[in-house]
Structure 1
Amino acid sequence: MAALGKGRTQLRSSITYKWLLLLVAITLIPLLVLGAVSYSITKNAIDKKVTDASKQLIRQTAENIDIRFSGYKDIVMQMITNPEIMSLLHRISQRDEPSAEHISLTSKLAYFTAVSPEFKSVSFVTDSMYIKGIFRWDDQAELKSEFYTKTMAAGNDFVWFPTRRGYYSDTADSHEEVVFSVSKQVFNIHDGRQLGMAVVLDIREEMLSEILRNNADGDLRTESFVIDQNGYILSHGDKGMLLTPVENWFEAEEASILISGGKEDSFVAHYKGKEVMVNYQQLKTNNWRVVHVIERSSLYKDSDQVIQVIAILMAVCALFSIIAAYAMANSVSSPLKRMVKAMKQVHIGNLSTRIKRDDKRIDEIGSLEYHFNDMVGRIEELVQAVYQEQNNKRIAEVKALEAQINPHFLYNTLDAIKWTALFQKANNAAEMARLLSRLLHISIGKGRDTVLVQEELEHVECYMGIQNLRATGRIEMVYDIEEEVKLYRIPKVILQPIVENAVLHGFADRHEGAVIRIGCRSTEGRLLFSIEDNGHGFESDLADSFSHQIEDMPKSATFLGVGLSNVEERIKLICGEEYGLSIDSKIGEGTRVIITLPVMKEESSHV
């Protein structure tokens, strides 16, 4: 997970990723803004246009219904002002049983109703009897009473009764029909007296459905219907919705607007679970209302097409932007990645690294690659020159130090041989010469800077053999050397100067009990030599001064000898600055020198 998170972070920080984001953003944001603005403008324009068209349509529908209703009222007036019809009604009302006048009345009324198939029946009712017109009602007496009571209470006005399921019968059959009705009180045409009679014209609901269908907009998903003042649906293309309250199809607040709102209005509502635009118009003939609903999703077909075109354009532009951005970013990021990789190699010390570049590329990237290669080449040359110079300097310093040590020791040794030859037999002089020859052979070596530990110990033994021959064996040597370290390599001639310093300074004026102990062990990747003597010792601050900075030692410490300084410098030159000598000495107790060296086996020794 950590590696995955790191990879994502590197991707987001890459130039290619940033180029892609930039170009895609530059391309898509204007298109998104354009699409949003276009959609908003188109939507508002469509809303306004459709609202205006719907209002015009609903007004036309209401006007057509009002015209048709006015025609029905005219038919009613023609019937109740016709002298023959009124005469027949008068005679029928005087009798309790059906008579020939009923047949005559039906014939007369058929003249008026035959002109329009939407008429279902004409009936005349009084407070005591029901007079058949065309079909006879099979409804209960309560319904007949309601028609009579409301019509008589309206005086000279027409009364409109909402849609109902009417039950009719004649001599042939009985059947059901969905109708609505208009009624009018009958007056004497000569003196205006009330005759205590009402005429009821039953009209098929299909008439209203036909008007609503003829005024529908075929391009949109719309529905039109008529409701009464109580909110019941009087006419609808879906017959299953007839006689149901609008609360069943609209939310309560929206249904309330349809029922008790102004004479006309437009608003957005939810009809059958869908968002619709609603327009309604109240009829002039009565207080019924024509309602027109338009499903809003159908309004935006054109704007949806615009959005689809914009979406396709955005997809094409996005694809093009990604390809172009990747190509452009890759032309920049690829050489930069190669350069970063090369820089990392240079950082870890691989100065032979070069960037593979296209010579035909002459832009800033090409120039950067060329100058990078040139710079690394120059650095490599300078490093090689400095390395060669430092190597030559190191070799010269080592050679100078060895030349400084060897003549100094050779002078002292030859001086000892001279005095020994004077006071002793020639056999001792010969042995000293042999030891001196071996000592010089080991110290000079084969031109290498390092020797085996066992060779360095032999060098010390040769030196001490010479010293003991000269001083009659008065200094005891004790060795504590781990076997495995004897085959390690160390800088040559580093133990003898320390031992020499102990002989010359630690045991000056001392003739008995002198002991020098040399120990060596390997620990934690380091080689530690310990050279201890029980000589005179010296002040501890002089030892500290030597451990910190040899060249700053006070003049009183010159007895430590030039040999120790040379040993310290050669160790640091050959092995590194972290290696060298440390001295611990106390007056009257002796001196202890610790040499810290790296473990150098035969195959990894310095030359």
Structure 2
Amino acid sequence: MKGFFLQSSRSLKIQLLAAMIIIIITLLSLLGVTNYCIAHKGILEVSTSYNQQLVEQICKNIELYCDEVMRQTDSLANQSSIKYYGDYFNTVPSKETKDDIKKVLFQTVVERSDIDDINIVHNDNNLVSMFGLYDEETLGTLCNYYGVKDMYLNARIIPIITTNKYGKPTLSIARSIYRPDEMQGSKYFIIVSLDINNINSILNSIYLGEGAGAFIVDAQGKSGNIKGHNKEVEQSILEQVKLHKSSKSINEIDTILGKKYLVSVNPLNQSGFRIVVYNPLNNLTKTSENIGRFSIFIVILGILVASALTLYITSKFMKPISQLVHHMSKISTGNLKTIDVKQKAIEMKILYEKFNEMILDLRELMKDIHEKNKLKRKAELYALQTQINPHFLYNTLDSINAMAALRGEKDIMQMTVALARLLRLSINTKREFVSIAEEIEHVKCYLKIQKIRYADKFEVIFDIQPSILNYKVVKLILQPLVENAIYHGIELKPTHGIITIRGYENEGSIYLEILDNGIGVNREKVNEIRQRLKEDILLGNCDSVGLYNVNSKIKLYYGEDYGLSFESEQEIGTTIKVMIPKMMEVV
């Protein structure tokens, strides 16, 4: 996507449209995801709360069922035929027989079809059994789970799931028939066993959804109804429930066999039994899934609508820019017509006005170029007309030299020879670069002429390292600087002057220095000259014009890193330093 925006071939309209669509998609997607997350969280909280209420209602139904059976158990325990059976508990022999007790028990069984069996147990021995479905070991375990003092006032649910001789799981309720102080060390219990399928019926009476279920777990972690297509799920949940020994309610989301379930565990009326209800999480979040699909639909619809609006807006916005680009493309064909400014937007109005200004400037520039070309052409023609043949000039100087020799004018001879040499380098337009040795020779020719003019006004000292003589330098840069030293330093000095010309190399550069002990300049003038050198101001008619022209020439040929530096002190003298790169060959 980053490359898409960086491609130069893409128009601004396409880039703007793409950027707007991406922003819209991002914002709407974030809005949709946020809306879905909030809805999902709220629905999950409500569904979890509702699920917990169902679990509590199931527990209450089971507790009511058990309370009713416990009341009947209490009633049986207080029956005289049971309480005073035989001569185990009283000194006066009772006339009650087992048949009398069975009649009472049978009447109870007839009234309640959910009772599996009723047993009267004395000291772990089964005295009376309605159907004889349990052995004495099982009955003894049930009687001894609680002490007599815990079961003589009210019947208690024994938190152990047992099985009768046919393998049917049952839940038992026990009651001590006598108080501990009446037992004289003996134990006398009535045990009512219930078919656990009645509990399962209550557990399954409320439909929780597809794949959901419930089961009861005793104090030993045993369940009474793990079966059917959810057997593996219930077995896995049972193993986790065994690890939780807490008597408090548990309500959490667990992953069972790769699927998430909401598992609720509630204790059953402090009996030691726990009711476990599990429900696949997707049963609870179906509504949020519908909301999610609706959110996706809204996001897609919003993207389509927003994209259409964005396309319309960008097209309208880009139209004047496209028109301006069209007019600009015509410039390359020579069409320099201005365009009408009819834009309402301030920015576009300014842009169109600036375009017209540019067109007008181009017209003026082309006009100026045309005029300059005409002037240049005229100058070239004039130069051709007025060009002096160098050989004619050299021959004339040779004639003057010969005449001076005949008359014995040695000074004139020296001046004409020096001038001839000076002109040979100056007039030669084919060579822009010369060796430093040639540039020094050119300066010496110039100084010969000046020495004749100024006689003994000054002397010149050359201090040039031989190692730099073969390096190339743009020609005619030292003579103007020496001339500057003579006219602005030495000429106005009342005493004898000295000009020193130095040349040396240092760290990849060559330095040429012209020092004089002339009158120098004040600090204000020094700062002005330095500023002009820094700004590379090329002046045609002012003091020290040669200085500025040489500086511009060096920068033109070598770059901004090279040029002149200027030092001067009034009545002490001036130093001009030239810095150029080392060049053996001209590139």
For residues 223-302 of structure 1, what are the structure 2 equivalents within 5 Å? 223-229=213-219, 232-233=222-223, 240=231, 248-249=239-240, 255-256=244-245, 259-261=246-248, 265=249, 267-270=251-254, 272=256, 274=260, 276=262, 278=264, 280=266, 282-283=268-269, 286-302=271-287
Which residue of 130, 133, 139 maps to 1:144?
A: 139
The two structures have a TM-score, normalised by structure 2, of 0.55
Give, in whole Å, the separation in 1 of the partners of 2:5 and 2:19.
18
The answer as to whether partners of 1:123 and 1:131 remain within 8 angstroms in 2 is yes
Compared with structure 1, are the counterparts of its residues 504 and 118 closer, same or farther at alpha carbon in structure 2 (3 Å cutoff)?
Answer: farther
Shift of the alpha carbon at 1:11? 9.6
The answer as to whether partners of 2:28 and 2:303 remain within 8 angstroms in 1 is no
Which residue of 167, 185, 202 maps to 1:176?
A: 167
Which residue of 124, 129, 152 maps to 1:133?
A: 129
Letter matched to residue 539 of structure 1: L
Give, in whole Å, the separation in 2 of the partners of 1:356 and 1:90.
131
Match of residue 428 from structure 1: none
- Provide Cα deviations, 1:352-380, integer angstroms capped at 9, x if missing partner: 26799999987678757765664454344
Shift of the alpha carbon at 1:223? 3.9
* 1:215 aligned counterpart, secondary structure: coil
Match of residue 208 from structure 2: 217
Give, in whole Å, the separation in 1 of the partners of 2:173 and 2:156.
6
Compared with structure 1, are the counterparts of its residues 235 and 176 closer, same or farther at alpha carbon in structure 2 (3 Å cutoff)?
Answer: closer
Compared with structure 1, are the counterparts of its residues 90 and 504 closer, same or farther at alpha carbon in structure 2 (3 Å cutoff)?
Answer: farther
Match of residue 520 from structure 2: none
Letter matched to residue 115 of structure 1: E
Compared with structure 1, are the counterparts of its residues 39 and 395 closer, same or farther at alpha carbon in structure 2 (3 Å cutoff)?
Answer: closer
Give, in whole Å, the separation in 2 of the partners of 1:245 and 1:209.
19
Give, in whole Å, the separation in 1 of the partners of 2:75 and 2:156.
16
Which residue of 41, 50, 63 maps to 1:43?
A: 41
Match of residue 577 from structure 2: none
Does 2:78 match 1:72?
A: no
Letter matched to residue 126 of structure 1: H
Give, in whole Å, the separation in 1 of the partners of 2:235 and 2:42.
34
Which residue of 38, 54, 59 maps to 2:56?
A: 59
Compared with structure 1, are the counterparts of its residues 245 and 127 closer, same or farther at alpha carbon in structure 2 (3 Å cutoff)?
Answer: farther
Match of residue 334 from structure 2: 352
Does 2:381 match 1:384?
A: no
Shift of the alpha carbon at 1:181? 1.0
Shift of the alpha carbon at 1:177? 0.6
Match of residue 155 from structure 2: 158
Match of residue 543 from structure 2: none
Does 2:299 match 1:309?
A: no
For residues 317-466 of structure 1, what are the structure 2 equivalents within 5 Å? 317-329=302-314, 332=317, 336=321, 350=332, 352=334, 371=353, 374-405=356-387
Compared with structure 1, are the counterparts of its residues 329 and 277 closer, same or farther at alpha carbon in structure 2 (3 Å cutoff)?
Answer: farther
Give, in whole Å, the separation in 1 of the partners of 2:380 and 2:240.
108
Letter matched to residue 447 of structure 2: E
Shift of the alpha carbon at 1:316? 2.6
Shift of the alpha carbon at 1:395? 3.1
Shift of the alpha carbon at 1:196? 4.5
- Provide Cα deviations, 1:93-149, integer angstroms capped at 9, x if missing partner: 9xxxxxxx878866663432233332222223323633463433465x533332343
Shift of the alpha carbon at 1:331? 5.1
The answer as to whether partners of 1:54 and 1:279 remain within 8 angstroms in 2 is no
Match of residue 117 from structure 2: 121
Letter matched to residue 224 of structure 1: A
Compared with structure 1, are the counterparts of its residues 529 and 216 closer, same or farther at alpha carbon in structure 2 (3 Å cutoff)?
Answer: closer
The two structures have a TM-score, normalised by structure 1, of 0.53
Shift of the alpha carbon at 1:399? 3.8
Say which one has the larger Rg: 1
Instruction: Judge which range, 10-19 or 309-318, deviates more.
Output: 10-19
The answer as to whether partners of 1:152 and 1:198 remain within 8 angstroms in 2 is no
Compared with structure 1, are the counterparts of its residues 322 and 112 closer, same or farther at alpha carbon in structure 2 (3 Å cutoff)?
Answer: same
Give, in whole Å, the separation in 2 of the partners of 1:578 and 1:57.
95
Compared with structure 1, are the counterparts of its residues 6 and 223 closer, same or farther at alpha carbon in structure 2 (3 Å cutoff)?
Answer: closer
Shift of the alpha carbon at 1:179? 1.1
Shift of the alpha carbon at 1:58? 3.2
For residues 457-536 of structure 1, what are the structure 2 equivalents within 5 Å? 495-496=390-391, 499=394, 502-503=397-398, 509=404
Which residue of 205, 209, 212 maps to 2:196?
A: 205
Q: What do you get for the CA RMSD once the two structures are aligned?
A: 5.8
Give, in whole Å, the separation in 2 of the partners of 1:339 and 1:506.
72
Q: Which runs of 5+ in 1 are unaligned?
A: 94-100, 169-174, 406-492, 521-525, 555-576, 580-607
Compared with structure 1, are the counterparts of its residues 197 and 398 closer, same or farther at alpha carbon in structure 2 (3 Å cutoff)?
Answer: closer
Match of residue 546 from structure 2: none
Shift of the alpha carbon at 1:207? 1.1
Compared with structure 1, are the counterparts of its residues 508 and 69 closer, same or farther at alpha carbon in structure 2 (3 Å cutoff)?
Answer: farther
Give, in whole Å, the separation in 1 of the partners of 2:287 and 2:281.
12
The answer as to whether partners of 2:176 and 2:188 remain within 8 angstroms in 1 is yes
* 2:168 aligned counterpart, secondary structure: strand
Give, in whole Å, the separation in 2 of the partners of 1:11 and 1:295.
55
Give, in whole Å, the separation in 1 of the partners of 2:424 and 2:29.
86
Letter matched to residue 149 of structure 1: N
The answer as to whether partners of 1:345 and 1:353 remain within 8 angstroms in 2 is yes
- Provide Cα deviations, 1:147-173, integer angstroms capped at 9, x if missing partner: 3434662334323223435142xxxxx
Give, in whole Å, the separation in 1 of the partners of 2:142 and 2:120.
10
